[in-house]
Amino acid sequence: MVTQLRVTTAGESHGPAEVCVVEGIPAGLALRSADVDMELSRRRKGYGRGARMAIEGDACRFLSGVRQGRTLGSPICILVENQDHVNWLDVMSAEPAPAQADRGAPVTVPRPGHADLPGMAKYATSDIRDVLERASARETVGRVAAGAVCKRFLAEVGVSVRARVIRIGDIAVATNGSLVDPQAIDWDAVEVSSLGCDDVAVSERMRAAVDVARERGESLGGIFEVWCWGMCPGLGGYASMADRLSGRLLGALGSIPAIKGVELGAGFENASKSGSEVHDPLELRTDGAGSWIARKTNRAAGLEGGMTTGMPIVLRAAMKPIPTLTTPLPSVDTTTMKPTPAHVERSDITAVPAARVVGEAMAAQVLASAYLEKFGGDSVPEFLANVRSYAAVLEERGLWRRS
């Protein structure tokens, strides 16, 4: 049986909790709640976030799958309580609320750009609250928790996944186009920045743009860039559509709320160039231990034919401005069918810094699954033995050398 990672999330924005279940992680992986809490804390930060982040502590609890700091090989269930739920007990009650309770007025005015109107049509509801509670980006708490588990698993084979913000609105970082060396990016500066950007001067300009948007009742989108490195070649496949790791990674990032475009490396820019400018020449390298085939460049962004090449995978995702505006756009009341300003929910000015953390989580889930599919193993030692055996064969054949 092919071992495959499965992730399920559950929970509404103002419900009791966000929950995720991660299936497929082998037994024996060292895992602490602090590993998950660190990622949840990173998601919660970012200049331009709304008041909700001051309410939520986002501390996780393992409900199953972990004992004495190690995974058991059984499904890992993680719960993160919504602290704001106490203010929504009647509105979000699972049981029918008594007539005298404050159940809240139904939300009947959809917000342009949100899931509101199509969700009303799909689920035959007249109260948009039934839609917006799950469609909310609060759902990504579960994704980030699952991603933390996957990052911890990938660390066992030397794989890192990091992301940075390269654009907020019309303020962008100048990139040199090289996708070879992830350590050329100051990742410590990324974490220090309130916007997840490694360029201090650009970060300050981004903050100023967020301030202007706040004053105008606007929101801002942007672009984040995800780097994954340390993978061996040959993960993924081409035998079927579902095997292609490129499609899986692009789809995973595209599933994040408000993401409207994803590319591998300079994918869209490369479409306007000739083949000799885009593809990576192969060369033979030799040292005292032997010879191997390598690439000087990484224009393929780490993937060829739907498989890893051994070079860093670099993805970029474009996030649209958040659709909830404090100065709302025109809409229509679905009960009276009369024009009216759109409904306003508490929201962020920009969530690109948080989205980069979600992007890391999604990429980590895809890569962890790819490793499990190829190497299997019911325990971490068995999994690692399989990885080492494969790597040794590649090095013996001169097809790869871990840097």
**Assigned domain for 3 exists:** no
pLDDT higher than 60, residue 107: yes
pLDDT higher than 60, residue 1: no
pLDDT higher than 70, residue 52: no
Give SS3 for 169.
Answer: coil
Average pLDDT value for residue range 364-388: 98
pLDDT the model gives residue 326 = 83
> In 10 A of CB 175, how many CB atoms?
14
Tell which wins on pLDDT, 206 or 100. Answer: 206
Tell me the pLDDT band of 174, cut-offs 50, 70 and 90. confident
Residue ranges making up the domain that contains 370: 108-397
What is the percent of the chain where pLDDT is above 90? Answer: 86
**Assigned domain for 262 exists:** yes
Tell me the pLDDT band of 123, cut-offs 50, 70 and 90. very high
**Assigned domain for 22 exists:** no
Note the pLDDT tens digit of each residue in 322-362: 988 888 899 999 999 999 999 887 778 999 999 999 999 99
From CA 333, how far away is CA 360, in angstroms rounded? 38
**Assigned domain for 348 exists:** yes
Instruction: Say how many domains are in the chain.
Output: 1
**Assigned domain for 86 exists:** no
Could you write out the three-class secondary structure of 97-162?
A: CCCCCCCCCCCCCCCCCCCHHHHHHHHCCCCCHHHHHHHCHHHHHHHHHHHHHHHHHHHCCCCEEE
**Assigned domain for 58 exists:** no
pLDDT the model gives residue 2 = 53
From CA 163, how far away is CA 108, in angstroms rounded? 38
Average pLDDT value for residue range 182-188: 96
CATH number for position 139: 3.60.150.10
From CA 218, how far away is CA 322, in angstroms rounded? 9
**Assigned domain for 386 exists:** yes
Kind and range of the H or E run holding 190: helix 187-192
Q: Which residue has the tokens 């933390």?
A: 148
pLDDT the model gives residue 344 = 84
pLDDT the model gives residue 327 = 84
**Assigned domain for 324 exists:** yes
pLDDT higher than 60, residue 259: yes
